[in-house]
Amino acid sequence: MTPEEFRRHAHAMVDWMADFLDGVEQHPVRAQTRPGEISARLPESPPDMGEAMETIFADFQRDVMPGITHWQHPRFFAYFPANSSPPSVLAEMLTATLGAQCMLWQTSPAATEMETRVLDWLRQMVGMPRGFTGVIQDSASSAILAAILTAREKATGWGVNAEGLKAHPPMAIYTSEQTHSATEKNVKIAGLGLAGFRKIPVDDAFRLRVDSLEAAIEADLAAGIRPVCVVASIGGTGVGAVDPLRAIGELCRRYDIFLHVDAAWAGSALICPEHRWMFDGIELADSVVFNPHKWLLTNFDCSAHYVKDPDALVRTFSILPEFLKSREADAVFDYRDWGVPLGRRFRALKLWFVIRSYGVEGLRTIIREHVRLGGLFAAWVEADPDFEIMAPPMLSLINFRFHPSGVDDPADLDRLNEALLHRINDDGRIYLTQNRVGGRYVIRMSIGQTRTEQRHVEEGWAVIRELASE
Ligand SMILES: *Cc1c(COP(=O)(O)O)cnc(C)c1O
């Protein structure tokens, strides 16, 4: 492709991008294709000869687009959002164009120095104290893995890295029943074994019970098992559970246990001071993660991971073959030592674009509107005799179910709500996901897409009621 051709195609695609985002509401939210339908449209073998960009792009529109679920659709109410925004997309274009590999400071000093700077902006934005240093990970899952590995190495004097697990007594990790599945996955990856994975019960508000946590720690100590890490949730995935951070932090200090705080979704809301109560006690944490790629208008992937003791993290991950040595290593951060992958994209750029383009106040306005819409939706559900709220609404997350009069058998209600959810998602106007609360099947409404306005939530509620009444 010549530079002139590149320019022409790029302009055409930017026009397409602007039109797409402008008209995204016209698409069904969840892809309506059946398994295998897209792969059947893709040739089984690669082309020998290059093809024209016009042809490739036309095939993208015809064969690929129908299989896309539209996370940037304002009626996307499933999972948690994975927001983008125009300034973020523009920055991603520049990042792709530079194509820089930002593993070491010297492989792009601006990428490293901007990453440190914008993560400190973010730290200030969510009201975290000084003393936390940030790094961008690809996902909250990776940050949790980094936390568990650091905890494991600190507890064994970096012994597992040297000698392997066999040389050390068994270890235990604690979290609540409401924790994200990533915690369990990472316990397995870290080699600690699910035998040492403790899911602590929660109270009526779905918060980790600190008395049960202490009892579990004591029981492990008595059995010769080493407690190494607690993962606390601030805004758990199911119902948005907020664990009592200060009490957990004090307990961790007392027993010398590493405390990781998983605020993947809710963390972004803390740019609004009225939500900062959730982080009371955050200074007691050893590491914290939240995802600007969820609710802060920044394209996936961008997970903000903060650590109290960067040396412990770096010592856990660092390796130094000859070809990676650099003259500046003592004076700068080489972020390749802060996580699993060696290679890293220039992800700080999109965050810098987003924060500068909206300003902190602009971002607050958007999050506050989503939270207001969550309250509105919860009030509609509450006021309707055929529906019920199944867990206290949290920020913009509402767990509810259809409960028409005359249907009271719990298993019947489960089946009814499961059928309703499938009906809703097959319809395509909105997209929702399910959850279990107290063992019961519930529908989960998560509001937070960049473009979601009140009319979209009104339309969503109308669709739910319409399909339920059928
Ligand atoms: C989304 C989420 C995760 C996982 O996030 P990834 O960045 O996709 O790994 C972990 N914990 C909570 C509470 C989440 O909401």
Let me know: does 225 contact 172? Beta carbons within 8 Å: yes
**d(Cα 448, Cα 377) in Å, to the nearest integer?**
13
| In-domain check, residue 351 | no
Ligand 1 pocket mutation, candidates 180, 260, 287, 296, criterion most atoms within 8 A of CB: 180
Is 262's C-beta closer than 6 angstroms to any atom of ligand 1? yes
Domain stops at, among 317, 345, 373: 345
Q: Are residues 197 and 280 in the same domain?
A: yes
The b/e string for 230-242 (b: 16+ C-beta within 10 A; e otherwise) is bbbbbbbbbbbbb
Is 176's C-beta closer than 6 angstroms to any atom of ligand 1? no
Q: Are residues 341 and 381 in the same domain?
A: no
Q: Are residues 131 and 267 in the same domain?
A: yes
Domain stops at, among 291, 318, 345: 345
| In-domain check, residue 39 | no
Q: Are residues 160 and 267 in the same domain?
A: yes
> Residue 391 gets which letter from DSSP?
S
Let me know: does 332 contact 111? Beta carbons within 8 Å: no
Long-range contacts, 184-192 (Cβ 8 Å, 24+) = 185/141, 186/141, 186/144, 186/145, 186/148, 187/148, 189/145, 190/145, 190/148, 190/149, 190/152, 191/160, 191/165, 192/148, 192/152, 192/165, 192/228
Is 264's C-beta closer than 6 angstroms to any atom of ligand 1? yes
β-pair type (133-137, 397-402): unpaired
| In-domain check, residue 43 | no
Q: Are residues 339 and 225 in the same domain?
A: yes
Ligand 1 pocket mutation, candidates 184, 234, 262, criterion most atoms within 8 A of CB: 262
Q: Edge-to-edge strand order for the sheet containing 397-402?
A: 387-389, 397-402, 440-446, 433-437
Give the range of the structural domain holding residue 257, as residue numbers without chain letter.
Answer: 100-345
Which CATH number do you get for residue 201?
A: 3.40.640.10
Q: What is the DSSP string of 210-263?
A: HHHHHHHHHHHHHTT-EEEEEEEEBS-TTT--B--HHHHHHHHHHHT-EEEEE-
Counting atoms of ligand 1 from 1, which one is nearest the CA of 142? 9
Q: Are residues 306 and 373 in the same domain?
A: no
The b/e string for 91-100 (b: 16+ C-beta within 10 A; e otherwise) is bbeebeeeee
Q: Edge-to-edge strand order for the sheet containing 287-290?
A: 133-137, 303-307, 287-290, 258-262, 226-233, 171-176, 197-200
Q: What is the pLDDT of residue 462?
A: 98
- For the chain (470 residues), the mean pLDDT of every run of 10, in chain order, is 97 97 96 96 97 97 97 98 97 98 95 97 98 97 98 96 94 95 96 96 96 98 98 96 98 98 98 98 98 98 97 91 72 92 96 98 98 98 97 97 96 98 97 96 98 98 96
**d(Cα 468, Cα 381) in Å, to the nearest integer?**
13
Q: Are residues 387 and 333 in the same domain?
A: no
Q: What is the pLDDT of residue 332?
A: 87
Is 80's C-beta closer than 6 angstroms to any atom of ligand 1? yes
Q: What is the pLDDT of residue 325?
A: 73
302 phi and psi angles, rounded to 5 deg: -165, 90
Is 243's C-beta closer than 6 angstroms to any atom of ligand 1? no
| In-domain check, residue 38 | no
3-state secondary structure 284-349: HCCEEEECHHHHCCCCCCCEEEEECCHHHHHHHHCCCCHHHCCCCCCCCCCHHHHCCCCCCCCCHH
Look at the chain and report how many structural domains it folds into.
2
Centre of ligand 1 to C-alpha 13, Å, is 31
| In-domain check, residue 365 | yes
Closest listed residue to residue 305, CA positions, set 295, 286, 290, 285: 290
Q: Are residues 324 and 397 in the same domain?
A: no
> Residue 430 gets which letter from DSSP?
-
CA angle, 139 as apex, 370 and 317 as ends, to 5°?
Answer: 150
Q: Model confidence over 67-102: pLDDT tens digits? A: 999 999 999 999 999 999 999 999 999 999 999 999
| In-domain check, residue 354 | no
Token pair belonging to 35: 């398994």
Q: What is the pLDDT of residue 322?
A: 73
Is 175's C-beta closer than 6 angstroms to any atom of ligand 1? no
3-state DSSP assignment of residue 412: helix
Q: Are residues 268 and 395 in the same domain?
A: no
pTM given for the model: 0.96
3-state DSSP assignment of residue 56: helix
Domain stops at, among 296, 314, 345: 345
Q: Are residues 127 and 75 in the same domain?
A: no
Ligand 1 pocket mutation, candidates 265, 293, 296, criterion most atoms within 8 A of CB: 265
Which CATH number do you get for residue 415?
A: 3.90.1150.170
Q: What is the pLDDT of residue 446?
A: 98
Q: Are residues 143 and 288 in the same domain?
A: yes
| In-domain check, residue 149 | yes
| In-domain check, residue 118 | yes
Handedness of CA 373, 378, 383, 385 (dihedral sign): positive
Q: Are residues 287 and 387 in the same domain?
A: no
